[in-house]
Amino acid sequence: MAPLIAKLLSHISPVAAISTSLLASGFYLVGLVIYRLYFHPLASFPGPKLAAATGWYEFYFQYWLDGQYIFETEKLVKRYGPVIRVNPEELFIHDPEFYNDLYVAESTRRTNHYDNFAQGIGFDGCHLLTVEHDLHRARRKPLEPYFSRMGISRLQPMLAEVALHLETRLREYTNTSEIVRLDHAFTAYTGDIIGRMCLDTDDPGDRFLSREDFSADWSWIMQMIIRSVPLFSGFPFIIRLLSPIPSEVLLWLYPRGQAFATFQEKARGNIRKALGSNSLNDKYVESLFHHVANSDMPASEKSEERLAKEAQLLLGGGTVTSARTISCAAYYILTRSDVAKRLREELKNPMTEWPTHVPTWAELERLPFLQAVIKEALRVDFGVMTRLPRISPDVPLQYKQYTIPAGVPVGMSSYFMHMDPDIFPNPSEFIPERWLGSINPLMNRNFVPFSRGSRTCLGSNLALAEISLVLAVLFRPNGPKLELFETDESDVRVAHDFGVPLPKLDTKGVRAYVR
């Protein structure tokens, strides 16, 4: 048989072979489009035919137009209704009443992650992107005590130390006429908190806050990673091609990535130390990986490689989103004198003895206006803005007249929930007062910056605690006197969705003088 095939192939010219391959590919693509449009399980769902036919439709808006598909989806909802087929395999629903039916607790039903949603970004194996429900629970459950309210209470001395470090660094700029990038300072603040959790080091030189310009290179590399998500998700093989390249070569090409590389190296060292430890004592109360090493997480899930991915995800997801919320809140506080005044008055007593006495997170939670400012900042900044697809692997989902087959990814978005004018009048405006007094209970239903269900944000308690403390420190009566410099609302208002929301791409950041 082999000689016969070889003889046949010898009579086929290269031109004919190429032509045949192209023709076969063309027939395949035509057949695939016909299947997707007319025979696919989602063929009957509303949406543009181009989105149903090819993923290039979404890729165009996400990559070529820089994270605009969420806004295109908004237009599609107005045209087609609350259910949209946003790509060949996935549905989007905009109906606040359905949110709690999609994002459910594990006791309600199993929920899988949609693998294609975040493929190619290099975090395979971390709990957040684990596809299968039971494996996700096995990876996440041992982490939950560390990020619980009780776990965060143990971290409060560390949070206070980092917040004081931030204040001290800002005061160094007092009356110097030097401009401070507050967004960089806040990214350094949240980055140092994650660093203390993952690196287990007391060396002040390891702090982002200690470095010149609040580690501007660190902020830059995080922005570049975020903006690269559409490319890597569209072409997941890129990460696989880059993985074998030595880190020295990558750093030669992108020297500003040194901070991220240093973090990775030290995180791996701490993971090795933690896995070799036999006990968890007070010295390691801050260390996430000493907690993991002493947890009931299956041994197969405690590999250095997988835990290093968890550290990288924490550093990325746990710094930028919270820093953006703090930047957003700070901007509006500094541009709204009535908000700043009311906040100072409320913080006067709780923060009188700072830093000798540090109010607990629970005490700060009892300050209604501070919490209203935080909730409103989270509302207009959305947390994670992009749709978060979930899969019901075992049972179909029912939405009104639509029966969604088991195994189909379905997503909803905090952007649509938070910008609903029926629930939040003037939704684009920053109005913390809307959260005070007797509020519409549907506001809390629609408030989903951390999502919900069995895959809700693991770090929500940490985020709320660190945001509460830093705003209390900076905007108390005797806090640093900050004055915005050439910063307007477009520097914080969301204009792009790369998974993490970003303002206009040519922003110069939230800049200020310290008076």
Q: Is 457 annotated as a binding residue?
A: yes
In three-state secondary structure terms, 93 is strand
Task: Provide the 3-class DSSP secondary structure of residue 174.
Answer: strand
- Do the beta carbons of residue 386 and residue 70 sit within 8 Å? yes
Taking residue 213's Cβ as centre, other Cβ atoms within 10 Å add up to 14
d(CA 191, CA 166): 12
Q: CA 29 to CA 49: how far, in whole Å?
A: 15
Alpha-carbon span 99 to 376, nearest angstrom:
20
Q: Which residues contact 82 (CB under 8 A, 6 or more apart)?
A: 93, 94, 95
DSSP 424-449: SSSTTS--GGGGSSS--HHHHHH--T
Spatial separation of the C-alpha atoms in residues 461 and 440, rounded to whole Å: 24
Kindly report the number of other CB atoms within 10 A of residue 108's CB atom.
13
Side-chain half-sphere of 470: how many Cα atoms within 13 Å? 34
Q: Write the CB contacts of 233 (distance below 8 Å, at least 6 apart in sequence).
A: 62, 116, 117, 118, 119, 120, 121
Which residues of 81-170 form beta strands (DSSP E)? 83-87, 90-93, 112-113
Known binding positions for heme: 457
Known binding positions: 457
